[in-house]
Amino acid sequence: MVAAPNTNGSVIEQPPNGAFAGPQAISGVGAGGYSMVMSMADAADSLPAWGTRPALRDQMLREFWPTEPMFASSLYSTVSRYSSFGWTLTGPPLTTAAVQRILHTSEAGAGWIPFVNKVLIDLYTQDNGAFIEVVRSGDSPSSPPLGLNHLDSGRCVRTGQAQTPVIYYDLYGKGHLLKWYQVIPLNEFPSPIEGAYGMQYCALTRCMRAAQIMREIGIYKREKVSGRFTKAIHLVSGMPTRMITEAVTQHQNAADSAGQLRYLLPVIIGTLDPTAHVTHAQIDMASLPDNFDEETAMHWYVVNLANAFGTDFQDFAPMPGKGIGSGTETQTAHLKSRSKGAALFMRTIEHVFNFQGVMPSTITFAFGEQDLAEEHDKVVVKKERALWLQIMVLSGIITTEVARQIAADSGDIDPRYIEMMREHDATGEVQITASVPPPPDAPVAPGKPGPDEPPSPAGAGGAPPNSNAKNGPPTVATKRPAVTT
């Protein structure tokens, strides 16, 4: 059954006052093959192959990752870093302030960070991906958005239909058919299989086998410390088995009475016949592989985690060995990693917000604090280009008008500033990014013509006054502080 959205415009069903929605609130309820209610002894030990039973596999992935501490810690490190990225909104003051309030009241008022945290956890641990609900004032793509909510990936079914891409099942099992302007399906590494309908190979899937091995090693070590499991079989001659069994049972009962839950003293048995010849042989039931080196295994596991999340080794652990690594090596690793996982997340969110009807046409959303080192590198490039243009102007190869045109074409200055200086954009070309739309064609107030020559040296008159002081750049609202109008 497909139901209509709630009166507040959201498909997320709220439990009635004083009542709990039931066990399906955690386990999830889908349709047909997407039923999530099940019982298992140990998640991920018999994980279905990718694409065979996707709903069951995702549920098992959810049950698995909290049991593997290294992956869970790496997930927290990545999610907390990405959710704390700052962002900017560029546009008219009143519209910008309204959109800022919408983003800061995401997730039914909980805020931006809880909203992004939930989206990222699903994105990195579910092959079904993550889903964002866009609550609008009306059932139309032109209706302004009122809020953004995370949708539980376990309750979302991909339909493969462009107009209605998702069916969401609420706490009570009612299905809600969501239109393309009401939901945003997200994936970071989508499958090329046409019938997968946009499902992905999540970060947990990409490192699942390594995570299972490290989890089993951790369980082995925990049980070895606890001392309460069968580590080996002992073959003893010269003594009846009944005598050994009774001695072990009595020893364990005595340990329970003494509160010894983790470690037991050895069992000591005295023979009835002092002349009896007792022999012993041991068969190990569980042990680590030969020549196992825990430090080496952990190193390569962290490498696997870093590759799965698209980040750097040093984001999860310090470099091994006394030589932590040269400054050049560390910088190179950082430069390589910042263009993978973090950049993919930011570009994905910028694209869907700016080009899929979330932001008004006059507003541009962009992450503004993604990487200070990257911003520094961009400034260095602009500085070098400005010095090169200065040399070209001073040598008489080009004029200052041409230099400003080159700077505008390179993205170093806003092309509208050329119009403010009563000059004409000769090329009509600008540089824009793939995830940020071009600036609106807003009129600018003309000022004085730009100088034909570079400013005079200090003490020799100085540059002409700037008559465009009142014509500042477009209004920018940042994540911190709030917009002032």
Could you read off the pLDDT of 44-90 as tens digits, one per residue? Answer: 457 888 888 899 999 999 998 898 888 898 999 999 989 888 898 98
Instruction: Please indicate, yes or no, whether residues 307 and 445 belong to a single structural domain of this protein.
Output: no
Higher pLDDT, 473 or 454: 454
Asked if residue 469 belongs to a domain, the reply is: no
Instruction: Please indicate, yes or no, whether residues 263 and 324 belong to a single structural domain of this protein.
Output: no
3-state helix/strand/coil string of the chain: CECCCCCCCCCCCCCCCCCCCCCHHHHCCCCHHHCCCCCCCCCCCCCCCCCCCHHHHHHHHHHHHHHCHHHHHHHHHHHHHHHCCCEEEECCHHHHHHHHHHHHCCCCCCCHHHHHHHHHHHHHHCCCCEEEEEEECCCCCCCCEEEEEEECHHHEEECCCCCCCEEEECCCCCEEEECCCCEEEECCCECCCHHHCCCECCHHHHCHHHHHHHHHHHHHHHHHHHCCCCCEEEEEECCCHHHHHHHHHHHHHHHHHCCCCCCCCCCCCCCCCCCCCCEEEEEECCCCCCCCCHHHHHHHHHHHHHHHHCCCHHHCCCCCCCCCCCHHHHHHHHHHHCCCHHHHHHHHHHHHHHHCCCCCCCCEEEECCCCHHHHHHHHHHHHHHHHHHHHHHHCCCCCHHHHHHHHHHCCCCCHHHHHHCCCCCCCCCCCCCCCCCCCCCCCCCCCCCCCCCCCCCCCCCCCCCCCCCCCCCCCEEECCCCCCC
- pLDDT band at residue 213 using 50, 70 and 90 as cut-offs: confident
Dihedral angle sign, alpha carbons of residues 177, 178, 179, 180: negative
* Peptide bond preceding 320 in cis form (omega within 30 of 0): no
What pLDDT does 191 receive?
Answer: 92
Instruction: Please indicate, yes or no, whether residues 212 and 252 belong to a single structural domain of this protein.
Output: no
**For range 410-430, the mean pLDDT:** 76
Q: Which two tokens stand for residue 310?
A: 């698209």
What pLDDT does 34 receive?
Answer: 40
Amino acid residing at 89: L
Q: Which of 39-43, 126-130, 155-159, 300-304 has the lowest mean pLDDT?
A: 39-43
Q: Which two tokens stand for residue 430?
A: 């600008």
What pLDDT does 332 receive?
Answer: 55
Asked if residue 465 belongs to a domain, the reply is: no
Residue 431: which domain range? 372-454
Instruction: Please indicate, yes or no, whether residues 104 and 196 belong to a single structural domain of this protein.
Output: yes
What pLDDT does 59 receive?
Answer: 92
Dihedral angle sign, alpha carbons of residues 383, 388, 394, 397: negative
Tell me: pLDDT of 359 over 80. yes
Q: Check: CB of residue 180 under 8 Å from CB of residue 207.
A: no
What pLDDT does 472 receive?
Answer: 43
What pLDDT does 466 receive?
Answer: 44
Instruction: Record the pTM.
Output: 0.64
Distance CA 398, CA 386 (A): 13
Instruction: Please indicate, yes or no, whether residues 244 and 196 belong to a single structural domain of this protein.
Output: no
Instruction: Please indicate, yes or no, whether residues 403 and 302 belong to a single structural domain of this protein.
Output: no
What pLDDT does 127 receive?
Answer: 94
Strand order in the sheet with 166-169: 156-158, 166-169, 175-178
What pLDDT does 414 receive?
Answer: 80
Residues 6+ apart with CB under 8 A from 433: none
What pLDDT does 44 receive?
Answer: 44
What pLDDT does 451 receive?
Answer: 57
Asked if residue 468 belongs to a domain, the reply is: no
Percentage of the residues of the chain whose pLDDT score is greater than 70 = 61
Q: Check: CB of residue 197 under 8 Å from CB of residue 157.
A: no
Higher pLDDT, 157 or 418: 157
Q: Check: CB of residue 48 under 8 Å from CB of residue 56.
A: yes
Q: Which of 212-216, 317-321, 355-359, 413-417 has the lowest mean pLDDT?
A: 317-321
Backbone angles phi, psi at 233, to 5 degrees: -105, 130
What pLDDT does 249 receive?
Answer: 79
Instruction: Please indicate, yes or no, whether residues 377 and 307 belong to a single structural domain of this protein.
Output: no
Contacts 24+ apart (CB under 8 A), 244-247: 244/269
Higher pLDDT, 139 or 432: 139
| Cα distances (Å, whole numbers) of residue 368 to 67, 111, 441, 479 | 35, 18, 23, 9
Q: Check: CB of residue 159 under 8 Å from CB of residue 197.
A: yes
**For range 421-445, the mean pLDDT:** 64
Asked if residue 426 belongs to a domain, the reply is: yes
Q: Which two tokens stand for residue 267?
A: 């069992």
Task: Indicate the number of domains in the chain.
Answer: 3
Structural domain ending residue among the three candidates 257, 284, 311: 284
User: Per-residue pLDDT tens for 159-195?
Assistant: 999 899 999 999 888 999 999 999 999 999 999 999 8
Instruction: Please indicate, yes or no, whether residues 73 and 157 belong to a single structural domain of this protein.
Output: yes
What pLDDT does 114 receive?
Answer: 94
Tell me: pLDDT of 347 over 60. yes
Backbone angles phi, psi at 275, to 5 degrees: -90, 0
Asked if residue 424 belongs to a domain, the reply is: yes
Tell me: pLDDT of 481 over 50. no
Q: Which of 15-19, 54-58, 312-316, 477-481 has the lowest mean pLDDT?
A: 477-481
Distance CA 169, CA 28 (A): 8
Distance CA 111, CA 465 (A): 45
Dihedral angle sign, alpha carbons of residues 74, 75, 78, 84: negative
- Torsion region of 199: left, alpha or beta (phi above 0 gives left; psi -120 to 50 gives alpha): beta
What pLDDT does 232 receive?
Answer: 56
What pLDDT does 367 receive?
Answer: 86
Tell me: pLDDT of 469 over 50. no
Distance CA 156, CA 168 (A): 5
Q: Closest Cα partner for 187 from 11, 351, 358, 316?
A: 351
| Cα distances (Å, whole numbers) of residue 185 to 4, 105, 157, 180 | 20, 20, 10, 9
Asked if residue 43 belongs to a domain, the reply is: yes
Percentage of the residues of the chain whose pLDDT score is greater than 90 = 24
User: Per-residue pLDDT tens for 285-342?
Assistant: 455 555 666 677 777 778 888 888 888 777 776 766 645 455 555 555 555 555 677 8
**For range 437-443, the mean pLDDT:** 61
Instruction: Please indicate, yes or no, whether residues 387 and 278 belong to a single structural domain of this protein.
Output: no
Instruction: Please indicate, yes or no, whether residues 39 and 171 belong to a single structural domain of this protein.
Output: yes
Instruction: Please indicate, yes or no, whether residues 257 and 111 belong to a single structural domain of this protein.
Output: no
Asked if residue 72 belongs to a domain, the reply is: yes
Instruction: Please indicate, yes or no, whether residues 202 and 266 belong to a single structural domain of this protein.
Output: no
Q: For tokens 């930011």, what's the residue?
A: 346
Mean pLDDT of the residues in the chain? 74
What pLDDT does 129 receive?
Answer: 93
Instruction: Please count the other Cβ atoms lying within 10 Å of the Cβ belonging to residue 308.
Output: 24
Backbone angles phi, psi at 267, to 5 degrees: -80, 125
Tell me: pLDDT of 474 over 60. no
Q: Check: CB of residue 328 under 8 Å from CB of residue 168.
A: no
Asked if residue 129 belongs to a domain, the reply is: yes
Distance CA 359, CA 378 (A): 27
